[in-house]
Amino acid sequence: MTKVKITIDGHDLEVEQGTNLIEAARQLGKTIPHYCYHPGLPPDGNCRMCLVQVEKMPKPVIGCRTGATEGMVVHTQSDEVKKMRQSIMEFLLINHPLDCPTCDQAGECRLQDYYMDYDRIPSRYQEQKVHKDKMVDLGAGVMLDEERCIVCTRCVRVCQEVAKSEELFVQERGNHSMVATFPGKKMTNPYAGNTVDVCPVGALTSKDFRYKKRVWFLSAADSVCQGCSRGCNISVHHADNRVYRLKPRHNPEVNDYWMCDYGRIDYKFVNDGRRLKPHFKTDAGLQEDSYQNAFAHLQSVLQNYSADQITGIASAQESNEEINAFVDFIKSNFGSLPIYFSKNNPENPYEDDILIKADKNPNSAHIASKNLKPVSEISGGVKAVFVQRNLSAQDAQVLKDKGIQIVALFATNETNLDNLAEVILPIPTFAEQNGHFTNFEGKVQGFTKALKPRGESRLFAEHAEDIKALLSSIKKAS
């Protein structure tokens, strides 16, 4: 690509020829305000907020669709540009309902932000506002408030470009224009949640998140989606040691700006249905109890087996670190039998050629690198197993058929193995630890801790220390 020299507000810089002026200004750390432009979507040029002045051009030009050419001199802070921004803000707000107190977007709304930055004058609008429907269910968990919409068409374009779907369009004209689905139809594409992300105002909100939390109380942790082997980069938005929503995080090599709707709701297990304390099996059923009593029970169970009858089943749902710790633990304490793995293995998994992979495990690649065997190949010598996280229904059936005992299950949540395991020890979910997943392309991606480990859950390594102590006391006794 050819490089060209341009000047923005007196600063010289070199950019690739044709770079739009919003991106060129970004290289200087400058923001040219915009609504309809999104770096992941084809530019449309409708909002006119990014109008700037370019010397030798007769009229103001839009930054999003003006490419840099050699010697271009751009002004983004002149009085005329400021006046244009103020007038665009005034136009955008005359028919806006100004219902910020009840709007879920408040706190992350471009209308609020730019009003403070570029407008700050009282309304001069005395006429009746255009009234439209405030509760339109577009489908796929997306709600539309037509009055708040500024018709920037980011959502229309995100459906076209990302989901390859023409489900959204603009109907009516002039100030009656609104985003809609076709009559009798709803959005069904599995990327619809991205429409909410790209909406710069409160027009599109998520049914799952709306009215649950004011956004300024949320903190964000960089993370990686564990819904499939793609490993989309995400932010975990959390407060009160609970996860409130997941948002995609830009990574041009993995997921660009997007994530799918399956991944987007794959946080509920962090909040609900958790195994927060140790459990063990009694005659009266599964009992919640202290670590001390759970380990006492584990000790009595382990005494029934010799070390060469015991092995472990690692999980493709866990991090590289947790898998390593588990495999090392089994190898160093038992080790004569092969070690096995299990995967989340739903029937007819959905996949497409956009983001969603059929393999619904975040870490199959790391499991593959450990030379473990699938549970279906489990040999006759195995009498008892430690199980990491969970087993697929098929794998659980294999253990049942072969009469193999689960001595301990390291679980985040209640599972179908609860009644098969002698002892259940709580471990944290991905949201409660730092770690790495290796995606289907072999990319090792780090995720960070958003929450404190919930309840009494502990990383496998901590459990392993205590179990090692237990094993040595068994050895001494025998």
Partner 1 sequence: MTLVLTNRFKLKDSHTLAVYEENGGYKTIDKVFATNPDDIIEEVKQSGLRGRGGAGFPAGLKWSFIPKDPGKPKYVCVNADESEPGTFKDRYLLELDPHQLIEGIIICCYAIQSHDAYIYIRGEFDLPYRRIQAAVDEAYAKGYLGKNIFGKGYDLNIVVHRGAGAYICGEETALLESLEGKRGNPRVKPPFPATHGAFGCPTVINNVETISALPWIITNGAQNYRQWGTEKSPGTKMFSVSGHVNKPGVYEVPLGYPIKDMIQNECGGVGGTGRLKAVIPGGSSVPVLTAEEALDANLDYESLMEKGTFLGSGGIIVIDDSVDMLWALRNLGHFYSHESCGQCTPCREGTGWVSKILDRIYHEGGTQADLDLLNEIADNMSGKTICALADALAMPVRSYLKKFPEDFARHIKKTA
- The contact mask relative to partner 1 for 171-190 (x = CB under 8 A, - = no) is -xxxxxx-------------
223 Rama class: left (phi>0) / alpha (psi -120 to 50) / beta: beta
Should residue 150 be labelled a site residue for partner 1 when binding is judged by CB under 8 A? yes
247-252 contacts, C-beta under 8 A, 24 or more apart: 247/197, 247/220, 248/194, 248/197, 249/222, 249/223, 250/40
CA distances from 48 to 26, 61, 221, 379 (A): 18, 9, 34, 68
Should residue 155 be labelled a site residue for partner 1 when binding is judged by CB under 8 A? no
Residue of the chain from 91, 262, 291, 305 that contacts partner 1 (CB under 8 A): 91
**Complex with partner 1: residue 117 or 172, whichever CB lies closer:** 172
Residue 52, beta-bridge partner list: 61
Read off the amino acid at residue 117. D
**Complex with partner 1: residue 96 or 360, whichever CB lies closer:** 96
b/e for 137-158, b at 16 or more Cβ within 10 A?
A: ebebbbbbbbbbbbbbbbbbbb
**Complex with partner 1: residue 57 or 469, whichever CB lies closer:** 57
DSSP string for residues in 29-47: T-----SS--TTS-----S
Residue of the chain from 32, 81, 140, 151 that contacts partner 1 (CB under 8 A): 151
Should residue 337 be labelled a site residue for partner 1 when binding is judged by CB under 8 A? no
Should residue 126 be labelled a site residue for partner 1 when binding is judged by CB under 8 A? yes
Residue of the chain from 7, 9, 169, 443 that contacts partner 1 (CB under 8 A): 169
Residue 397, beta-bridge partner list: none
Residue 170 CB coordination number (10 Å): 15
Residue closest to 42 by CA, chosen among 156, 189, 205: 156
**Complex with partner 1: residue 56 or 124, whichever CB lies closer:** 124
**Complex with partner 1: residue 92 or 391, whichever CB lies closer:** 92
Residue of the chain from 56, 124, 475, 476 that contacts partner 1 (CB under 8 A): 124
Between CA 318 and CA 323 the distance in angstroms is 6
The one-character DSSP state at 117 is: I
For the CB of residue 83, give the shortest distance to partner 1 in the complex, in Å. 8
Which range binds partner 1 by CB under 8 A, 42-50, 69-77, 373-381, 461-469?
Answer: 42-50
Should residue 46 be labelled a site residue for partner 1 when binding is judged by CB under 8 A? yes
Q: What is the distance of C-alpha 127 from the center of its chain?
A: 43
Should residue 92 be labelled a site residue for partner 1 when binding is judged by CB under 8 A? yes
- The contact mask relative to partner 1 for 130-149 (x = CB under 8 A, - = no) is x-------------------
Should residue 170 be labelled a site residue for partner 1 when binding is judged by CB under 8 A? yes
Residue of the chain from 56, 59, 475, 476 that contacts partner 1 (CB under 8 A): 59
Should residue 90 be labelled a site residue for partner 1 when binding is judged by CB under 8 A? yes
Between CA 280 and CA 286 the distance in angstroms is 6
**Complex with partner 1: residue 129 or 400, whichever CB lies closer:** 129
Between CA 438 and CA 421 the distance in angstroms is 29
Residues that bind partner 1 (CB under 8 A): 44-49, 51, 59-60, 62, 65, 84, 87-88, 90-92, 94-95, 124-128, 130, 150-151, 153, 169-170, 172-177
